[in-house]
Amino acid sequence: MLRRILVLTFFVMVLVSPSVGTYAQEFPTKEVQIIIPYAPGGATDLIFRALAASAEKYLGKPIIIVNRAGGGGTIGYTEGAKAKPDGYTLTAAITPLTILPHQVTTAFTYKDFEPIINVVLDPCMFLVRTDCQWKTLKEFVDYARKHPGMITVGNSGAGGGVHLAALAFEKAIGAKFNHIPFAGGGPSITALLGGHIHAVSVSPPEGIVHVQAGKLKIMALFGERRLEMFPNVPTVKEQGIDFTMSQWRGLAAPKGTPAEIIKKLHDAFKKGMDDPAFRKSAKDMAINIYYMGSADFGKVMAHDHEFYGKLVREIKK
């Protein structure tokens, strides 16, 4: 009898003990996975591989990259949202997370994730050939307004981030472009180089090589600030068009992950972001490091979810 009571007490104690708390304090006890909803070798993959390598030492456990490509990211996000909210399975959250749910039926929205940290913010931009007929943004915009549907603008895929950027921009300036989708940023830039289209909507590092080589130039830069690499190129905002559009890349955990664990992860990745090794690889990749804490990152996601929802509904009309 006594033994039975003892055993029972033991179980009760185990059950009521603040297991989550101690769990969070001990975090991490094993390796942490990051799901990349895109193929290996793409920009997102490369960025988070570099970040994982430099954040490992601050987290104290290995960080493993798992690619779950497909469906424009839906497969990876679905898996990431359904993962156990224990902080061991994270997802690389990039702008399409707030676009996809408006376009196709998905089992997730940004609300199924807890934001951890934003790492990169790359402005969208329009590139044109250096020898094109428009010398300035004003000439380009005026021409677009006067000749609706005549300027062909390539994008990296229907409904993708840069396509929506081009749609939003034409709305902002009151013009109409002829949008041509390509299978990725590379082919759209090739078509521009060959003179088959007038402009492309891209996001760095796409097309940067050709801008450096002088074959293409940045006609419209939609960032909040100028690019470090091309300090002479003004943003459209500086030129009097109130329009900005950027694509973020950050990390998120499944909804319900304890706040303490989120904080631990945030701190480790923040240190990883500031690590010189990561800074250097970011520079090599021509990506724009942009830190946002968990709360700010969450606000951006919520804002963009509304924004893209409106935009996608307008296209579908």
Q: Between 35 and 268, name the residue whose CB sits nearer to another protein.
A: 35
Instruction: Please choose, from the candidates 284, 254, 252, the residue with its C-alpha nearest in 3D space to the C-alpha of residue 96.
Output: 252
The answer to whether 103 contacts another protein (rule: CB under 8 A) is: yes
Q: How far is the CB of 79 from another protein (least distance, A)?
A: 9
Rg (CA), the chain: 23
Do the Cβ atoms of 289 and 50 come closer than 8 Å?
no
Helix pair angle (276-285, 259-274), 10° resolution: 70
Q: Between 158 and 302, name the residue whose CB sits nearer to another protein.
A: 158
Q: How far is the CB of 62 from another protein (least distance, A)?
A: 15
Query: Quick one: which H or E segment has residue 168?
Result: helix 161-173
What is the C-alpha to C-alpha distance for residues 249 and 23, in angstroms, rounded to an integer?
Answer: 29
Q: What are phi and psi of 244, to 5 degrees?
A: -135, 150
Q: How far is the CB of 108 from another protein (least distance, A)?
A: 10
Query: Under the phi-then-psi rule, with left for phi > 0, alpha for psi from -120 to 50, and beta for the rest, what region is 144?
Result: alpha
Q: Between 42 and 293, name the residue whose CB sits nearer to another protein.
A: 42
- Of 67, 235, 244, 288, the one binding another protein (CB under 8 A) is 67
Residue 112 token pair: 């199924």
- How many residues touch another protein under the rule CB under 8 A: the total is 46
Question: DSSP per residue over 186-251, as a string?
Answer: HHHHHHHHTTSSSEEEE-TTTTHHHHHTTSEEEEEE-SSS--SS-TTS--TTTTT-----EEEEEE
Q: How far is the CB of 59 from another protein (least distance, A)?
A: 22
Site for another protein in 147-206 (CB under 8 A): 149, 152, 157-160, 178-184, 186-187, 189-191, 193-197
- Of 89, 95, 106, 294, the one binding another protein (CB under 8 A) is 106
String of contacts with another protein for each residue 224-263, x by CB under 8 A? ----------------------------------------
- Of 9, 22, 40, 133, the one binding another protein (CB under 8 A) is 40
* Alpha carbon distance, N-terminus to C-terminus of the chain: 74
Q: Which stretch binds another protein (CB under 8 A): 9-17, 104-112, 244-252, 283-291?
A: 104-112
Do the Cβ atoms of 209 and 187 come closer than 8 Å?
no
Q: Between 160 and 258, name the residue whose CB sits nearer to another protein.
A: 160
Q: How far is the CB of 74 from another protein (least distance, A)?
A: 5
Instruction: Please choose, from the candidates 184, 168, 183, 189, the residue with its C-alpha nearest in 3D space to the C-alpha of residue 243.
Output: 168
- Of 50, 51, 54, 78, the one binding another protein (CB under 8 A) is 78
- Binding footprint of another protein on the chain (CB under 8 A): 39-42, 45-46, 66-72, 74-75, 78, 103-107, 149, 152, 157-160, 178-184, 186-187, 189-191, 193-197, 209-210
